[in-house]
Amino acid sequence: MTYCVGIAVQDGLVFVSDSRTNAGVDQIHTFSKMHVFSHHRHFYVLLTSGNLATTQGVVARLHKDIKDRPAHNLYTMQDLGEAAGYIGEISREEQKVFEGKESEKGFSPEASFIVGGQVLNESPAIAQIYPEGNFIRSSKETCYLQIGETKYGKPILDRMIHSEFDIAHAVMCALVSMDSTSRSNATVGPPIEYLVYLNDAYNPSLQQSLDRDHEYWLQLRKNWSDSLRRAFDSLPLAPGLDNLQMDSAANVMSIHNQNPFS
What residues contact residue 141 under an 8 Å CB cut-off, 6+ apart? none
pLDDT at residue 163 in the model = 87
pLDDT at residue 26 in the model = 46
Q: How far apart are CA 91 and CA 97, in angstroms?
A: 10
- pLDDT by residue for the chain (262 residues), tens only, comes to 789 999 999 999 999 999 876 544 444 456 889 999 999 999 999 999 999 999 999 999 999 999 998 899 999 999 999 999 999 999 999 999 887 766 666 688 999 999 999 999 999 999 999 999 999 999 988 899 999 999 999 999 999 999 889 999 999 999 999 999 999 988 888 999 999 999 999 999 999 999 999 999 999 999 999 999 999 999 998 888 877 765 555 554 454 455 544 4
Name the residue type at position 98.
Answer: F
What's this model's pTM, rounded to 2 decimal places? Answer: 0.87
Q: How many CB atoms lie within 10 A of CB 122?
A: 13
pLDDT at residue 27 in the model = 44
pLDDT at residue 24 in the model = 46
Rounded to a whole number, what is the distance in angstroms from the first to the last CA of the chain? 50
